[in-house]
Structure 1
C-alpha cells in the first residue's frame, strides 16, 4: 500500500504542478478503495476539493497495473475540454468523443484500438448513439479498467439537474463485472440522492445496499471563502440599476446568472451601456462563441459573463471572484451548485442574490414543461407501433408534441426500454411502458418543496451557508460567520437615482422583431392539410413587431399581468392599460417599414376578444387607418393549445379562419396596399402565417404583423 500511495502521490504532483502537493483528507482513501479494493465508490465533496484528481490518479494506477482505459461519462463539453487538459498535465493520455470533435473520432478509434488511450471522456448522449453503442461500447466495456460518472446527481430523479440520458448509465453499470471499479462524483447531493446513486452503482451480487460494497465519502460542504448575501429590491429597474452602479466594486471577474435568455440579454446590454465589459452567454450562444467567452472570463478579459444555466457544470475558474443572481434558481441545491464556482482558489468571493417576484412563475414554467405524461407517451408509442423507424421530425408530424418535449420524452422512453434509437430515427422495442404516476407525483412534490425552501433562504434570520449545506444534509453544517445574517450586510443597498433612471430607460425599450415563417412544417398531408414546402413569397407575412417578450425584464412584467388567468384558469379579457397602449404606439412610430400600412385587420380571439379588437381599433384611430374588422372565426372554435407542435398547430389553424364578404370587400378597395395584422400574443408564429396567407390571397398587399407580446 505504501508503494501504491507513493505512485499515486507522484501522479498527483504532476497533475497539480506542485512538488509539495499531498492528498486532501479522503482522496487517498477513495483511490485506494478503487485501485486496491476494486470497489464501487461515491464521492460527495464541494467544488474545488479535487474529485478529478481522484479519478485521474486512480485511472493511471489502474493502467500501470495492466488494466484497460477508464471511461468517464461527463455532462458538458466545457468540462471535457478542461479535463483533457488536466489529464495531459499528469501524463494521462486522454481523449474525448463529443459532438464538438466529430472530425477526430476516427483517429480516437485508432488510438483506442492500439491501446494508447488511458482515459476516454464521453457525454451521456453518446451511450444511446447507435453507432457508438454497437461498435465501440461493447469493446470498451470488455476492456474497461474503471468507470467514472461525473456530476452523478444527474443519475437521480431527486437530483436538481436530473437528465434522462444519465439514467442509462445504471444499465451500463449493471453489465459490468463486480470487480470493475466504479466512481461516482458530485458536489451537490443530499441524503436521498446519495442513497439513490449508491443503490444504482452497487454490485448486483452484493445486494445493492448502499452500505454494502459501495465506499461513500462525504466531506463538509461549506465554503469558507464565500460571503453570502441577499438584497431584495422590488422592481426590475432597481435591481438592474444596482448592478450597473456597483458591479465594478465586486472583486475580480465573475458570473451574473439570470433565469431566462431574454433577461440575460437585457442585462448584458444595460451593463455594456453603463461602461462594464460583459458578454451574454445563453442557450442561443453559438458553441464556438461559448468557447471564446469561457476563455475571456478565465483570462479576466471581461468583468463578467451574464449567463443562464447554459454556463453550468464543468466551468472551471478557480479564482472566480463573485457570483450574482438576478432572480433565484428553483432550489437551494441548484443555487449552491452555481455559487460554488466562486472562490475556489481565493480567500474571499462574494455571492449575492437579487430575487424577483416573478421567480416562482418562471420556476413553474420550467418544471411543468419537463415532465412526461401518460397521454403523450401513449401517442408516441402508438405512432411507433406500426413497426417502422421514424425520425424525430416524422414523429412530430404524427403526435401532438412540440420538438423539445418530444425529444425529452423519447429519452425517457429509451431509458425505460420502450423505444430505441437506431440508424434513421426511433423504433419501438415492444417492451410495455407504464406511466409511473406515483413516481412523478413524488418528484413534483419534491420540486415544490425545493421552491419553498429557496424562498425561505431569501428571508432567513440565521446563517445562509448553514441553511444551504443543511439542505444538502451536511452533518457538519454550522454558522459561517461571514454572510449578511452572521456578520451584517457587506454590500451597499443604495441605488443612485440617475442610475435608476438610466436602467428604467433601458428596460423601457419596446419593439421586438418577429421573423415570418418561410416554410410549412413537414407531414401536413398525413393530417389532411394540403400545404407543403416553402410558402410562396406572395403569401408570406412580412417581418412583424411585438411590444416585448413575456420574459423581458422591462415590459415582460406588465405583459404577464395582462395575460394572466383567473383561479379557474380562464384567461382574463381586460382593457389594455394606458402604459401598454402608449408602448404600442411607440412601437408603431419607430417601425421602419418600407411602406406604411393603410388599414388594420385583427385576428379573432376566443380567449380575449375585447382586448384584441380594442387594440386594433385603437391603433386604427390613432394612426388614422381604415379598420376592416376581423377574420371570420369558425363556429364552435375553442382555445388553441399552445403546447402542440408545428404540424398540429397548422392543422388546427387551417380551417379556423376565413375572409368574410365584408373584409374581402375592404381588402379589394385597398388596391394592394399594406395591411397591419393585429393579435394579442405570439406563441408559434403559425397563426400569423395562416392569417397572412388568407389576407394575401384575398388581395392584401404586404401583411405586417403586430402583437402585444411574444411567449418565450
Structure 2
C-alpha cells in the first residue's frame, strides 16, 4: 500500500473514531458518500454541496470534518442555520463528541459578548449563527470579517434558502455571499440541504463558485424516505377535517406535528383538539422563544401528542416523530417534502397524512403576493434614501414608499447584498452604486411558483406512487415506486368521521366572534407626510367585533366567497346575518347610534348590514364615514401604515345626517361604527377619531370580516 493510500486510510480511521464519539455507538462507520464529502472538505479543502434526504447524516459530515480540521490547527467552523431547535440539538451532539459549540441568535443576546471573547481566545470549535445575524450592522462590520479571516470551515445549512428558486428563499442568506468573498484561499465550504431540485442545486453551486475556480463537489443522493407512508384524505368541509383529526389523531404512531398554513388556524385547531381530550399545543413564529423551547422539549419527550404548528417548527436531527399531518397543503411538493421529512427519523414506520382544502389556494395567493416588488417601487425606495442624506429607519422609509414593513425589509436586505443600499446604525442608506432590476429572473421565479402550485394539485389527484411523485419533483434520478403509500397499497386511511366529533367541530367553527383590537399608536414619521399625528391615539376606539377572519376554518369560507373582488354586491346572506346576531348577543355593546362606513365596491352590502343592525339594536343610523374624494383608490396606501393614514384622510370625512346634527349629533352617544371588513384598521381608527372629535362618548367598530 503506497503512502498516499495509507494516509487516506488513516484519515478515514480518525474520522470514524470521531463519528463514534458523535453518535455514541462503537459500531458506527461512515458510508462511502459521507467519507467522500468529508475527504473533500478536510483533506482536499474544497467546496461541496450535499443534497441528501433528512436523516442521511449531513451534520455528521461537518462535525467530523471540524474535528479533523481543528486537529490540524484550523480555525473554528462557522455554521449558518435558520432553525433554532436544530441549533440546540447540534450543540448537544457536538458536546458529546468533545466539540465545543456555541450559538449567536436572537434568543441569547446576553451571551454575545462572552461568546465573542471565547472565539477570540480560541476556545470555540463551532459557532452556529442564524442568517438574521449576518445582516446585523454590528455583527456584519465587526464580527463577520474576523470570522471570515479566521474560520476553518464554513457550513451553510438549509442551503436552498440561498436561491430565490428555492421554496424557502430568505434574503438574509444572501449575506453569505460576503462571507464567501472574504474567505482566505483554501478554506473549505459545505452547503447542505434535503430539498433542492436540479435548478436550485445548480444555482447554489454557482453561488459557491461564482468564478468557476473552486471545483465544487456536488453530491446528490437518493431522496427516498424508507420509513414514511404517505397518504391523502380528501374531505369536503373544514368541519369534516377537524373531526377527522379528533377521531384519528390518537391512532397515529408516537408523537408528531399537525401543520397548518396560518397562525390563526394553529390556535383554532389546537383549541378544538384540546376540547376533544387531546394533549396538543399551538406553535408558530409568534410563539415566545422560551415557550417554543419548552414545547419542543414536550414534543420530543412525548408529553404532548402533537404540536399544531406553522412551518416555523423545524425539529432537530435527533427528533423521533411518528407522524406528520398537514391540515392544508403547502404551495409546492418541495416544501411539502421538507415538512413530511420531520417524521420518520429514528423509527422504521411513520405516517404522513395530507388533508387538503379548497381555501389552500387563497393562502398560496397571499404568500405569492409578497414577491419582490416591481421596479418602480424599488427605484422609489432608492431615490428616497438618496434624497434623505442621512440614514432612514424602516418606519420612516415606509412613509415614502408604498410597501408594508415585511416586504420593504425583505427588499432592502436584497438591495443590501446587491450593494445598492447599506444597513447602518439608525437605519438604511443608499450607496450610490448602480443597480439593475432583473425583471426577467423575477418573472421566471414567479412562473416557477405557479408551476409548483399546479404540481401540488397534481400530487393530490395522482394515482401514482406519492413518494415517487415527490422525489421526481426534486429531480431525484433514482425516483421509484415506494410500495408504502396509499396509492401503492401500503397504507389505508379511513375517511370516516364520527357524528359526535363532527357536531362538536360544527359547533366550534360556527360560533362566530373575533375581537377587533383598536389601534393604540399613530404610525411614526407621519409629519413627513404633513400629518400632525403622533404618539398614542387618544382616545382610541373600543374593542370591536367581527364574525370571523377570512382565513378561519368556519365562517371564513362564506366570508371569502362574499368578499371576493369579483363577487356581486348584495345584501348580507342570511347565515352571516344570524352569525352577526350571535356575535352581538355574546358581546352586548352599549349602542345609542350607528355610523356606517361607505363603500364604493359594496354599497348594498354595508347599507344592508347597517340597516339590519339598526333594527336589531333599536338604534338609528345617524351618519356616514363618507367617501369625499373618490380619486383616492379604496385600498390606496394599504401596504404600510403611514401611507394608509394619509390616503384614508384624503378619501373620507364624517358626515352626520342633518336631523341628527340639529339635535346634537353624536354628542354623548355610544356609537357603533359599521364596515364590511377590516384590513389595516386605519380607516376605522380615523373614523373613530372623527366621531370622538364630534363628541361621541365611545366608539366601537363591528365588521363582517377581518382580513385582506
1:221 to 220, 223, 231: 223
Q: Does 1:679 align with 2:675?
A: yes
- Counterparts in 2 of 1:24 and 1:592: CA distance versus 1, 3 Å: farther
In structure 2, the CA distance between the partners of 1:588 and 1:666, relative to structure 1 (3 Å rule), is: farther
Relative distance call for 1:205 and 1:700 in structure 2 (3 A) is: closer
- Contact 2:229–2:491, Cα closer than 8 Å, also in 1: no
1:703 corresponds in structure 2 to 699
Deviation per CA, 1:334-361: give whole Å up to 9, x if none. Answer: 0000001101111100000000011111
The answer to whether 1:320 aligns with 2:316 is no
- Name the CA distance, whole Å, in 1 between partners of 2:149 and 2:402: 42
Task: State which of 577, 581, 596 in structure 1 corresponds to 2:577.
Answer: 581
**Deviation for aligned residue 1:175:** 2.9
Distance in 1 of aligned mates of 2:210 and 2:635: 50
Residue of structure 2 equivalent to 1:70: 77
> Does 1:181 pair with 2:183?
no
**Alpha-carbon distance, 1:372 to partner:** 2.2
Q: Please point out which of 402, 412, 415 is paired with 2:414.
A: 412
- Is this contact kept in 2: 1:262–1:553, CA < 8 A? no
Matches within 5 A, 1:10-29: 10-29=17-36
The correspondence of residues 160-239 of structure 1 with structure 2, limited to 5 A, is: 160-202=167-209, 204=211, 206=213, 213-239=215-241
Which residue does 1:108 correspond to in 2?
115
| RMSD of Structure 2 on Structure 1 (CA) | 1.6
| 2:614 aligns with one of 620, 623, 629 | 620
CA contact (8 A) 2:261 2:329 kept: yes
Three-state SS of the structure 1 residue aligned to 2:230 is: strand
Change beyond 3 A, Cα 1:557–1:666: farther
- Output the CA distance in 1 between the equivalents of 2:288 and 2:495: 36
Cα offsets for 1:289-322 (capped at 9, x unmatched): 111111110111000000011113x544532000
- SS of residue paired to 1:183: strand
Shift of the alpha carbon at 1:489?
Answer: 4.8
Q: Distance in 1 between matches of 2:135 and 2:396?
A: 20
Q: TM-score, normalised by structure 1?
A: 0.96
Partners in 1 of 2:166 and 2:49 — Cα distance?
A: 15
| 1:160–1:334 contact (8 Å) kept in structure 2 | yes
The structure 1 residue matched to 2:100, chosen from 90, 93, 106, is 93
CA distance in 2, matches of 1:7, 1:661: 84
How far apart are 1:699 and its partner, in Å?
2.0
What is the distance in 2 between the residues matched to 1:441 and 1:310?
27
What's the CA shift for 1:643? Answer: 3.5
In the alignment of these two chains, the number of paired residues is 698
Q: Who is 2:449 aligned against?
A: 447
User: 1:396-439 CA distances to partner (integer Å, 9 max, x unpaired)?
Assistant: 12222211111111111112111011111111111122221100
User: What CA distance in whole angstroms lies between the structure 2 residues aligned with 1:684 and 1:532?
Assistant: 18
User: CA offset at residue 60 of structure 1?
Assistant: 1.1
Could you report, residue by residue, the CA deviation over 1:502-523 in whole angstroms, capped at 9, with x for unpaired residues? 1111111211111111221111
SS in structure 2 at match of 1:660: strand
- Structure 1: 4+ residue segments shifted above 4 A: none
Q: What residue in structure 2 maps to residue 633 of structure 1?
A: 627
Matched residue, 2:152: 145
Moved more, 520-529 or 250-259: 520-529
Q: How far apart in 1 are the matches of 2:367 and 2:431?
A: 30
Instruction: Give the superposition deviation at 1:104.
Output: 0.8
User: In the aligned structure 1, how far is the partner of 2:241 from the partner of 2:629?
Assistant: 48
Confirm or deny: 8 A CA contact 2:321 2:344 kept in the other structure.
Answer: yes
Q: Cα deviation per residue 1:468-504 (whole Å; 9 max; x = unaligned)? A: 0011111111101010000165121211122111111
Gaps of 5+ in 2: 1-7
Structure 1 gap segments, 5+ residues each? none
Q: Is the 8 A contact 2:678 2:707 kept in 1?
A: yes
What does 1:548-567 correspond to in 2, within 5 Å? Answer: 548-566=548-566
Q: Distance in 1 between matches of 2:663 and 2:454?
A: 55
2:311, 2:84 → 1: CA distance? 14
- 1:393 is displaced (CA, Å) by 1.2
SS of 1:668's equivalent? coil
Counterpart residue number, 2:657: 662
What is aligned with 1:267? Answer: 269
Q: Deviations over 1:515-538 (max 9, x none)?
A: 11122111111111122222222x
Q: Distance in 1 between matches of 2:595 and 2:557?
A: 27
Indicate the residue corresponding to 2:643 in structure 1: 648
CA drift of 1:673 comes to 2.4
Counterpart-to-counterpart distance in 2, 1:659 and 1:619: 20
Distance 1:461 1:420 in 2: 51
> Using a 3 Å threshold, how does the CA distance of structure 1 residues 126 and 670 change in structure 2: closer, same or farther?
closer
Deviation, 1:632, is 3.0
**Alpha-carbon separation, structure 2, partners of 1:652 and 1:205:** 51
CA displacement, residues 63-115 of structure 1 (integer Å, 9 cap, x when unaligned): 10111111111112222212111111111111111111111111111111111
Tell me: CA distance 1:666–1:230, structure 2 relative to 1, closer, same or farther (3 Å). farther
The 8 Å contact of residues 262 and 552 in structure 1, kept in 2 or not, is answered as: yes
* CA–CA distance in structure 1, aligned partners of residues 626 and 35 of structure 2: 75
Q: Residue 348 of structure 2 aligns to a residue in which SS?
A: coil
Cα distance, 1:175–1:671 mapped onto 2, change above 3 Å: closer
Cα distance in 1 for partners of 2:286, 2:113 equals 30
Where 2:203 maps in the other structure, the secondary structure is: helix
CA contact (8 A) 2:597 2:625 kept: yes
CA distance in 2 between counterparts of 1:439 and 1:184 reads 23
1:425 & 1:367 partners in 2: Cα distance? 27
Partner of 2:546: 546
Does the Cα contact within 8 Å between 1:174 and 1:204 map onto a contact in 2? Answer: no
Check 1:330–1:642 CA distance in 2 against 1; reply closer, same or farther (3 A cut).
farther
Aligned to 1:297: 299
Q: Aligned-pair distance for 1:658? A: 2.5
Alpha-carbon deviation of 1:615? 0.3
Aligned residues of 1:48 and 1:318 also touching (Cα < 8 A)? no
TM-score (norm 2): 0.96
Q: Is the Cα–Cα contact under 8 Å of residues 174 and 203 in structure 1 kept in the other structure?
A: no
CA positional deviation for 1:373: 1.7
Shift of 1:629: 3.7
Separation (CA, whole Å) in 1 of partners of 2:264 and 2:676? 19
Q: 2:461 aligns with which of 459, 462, 465?
A: 459
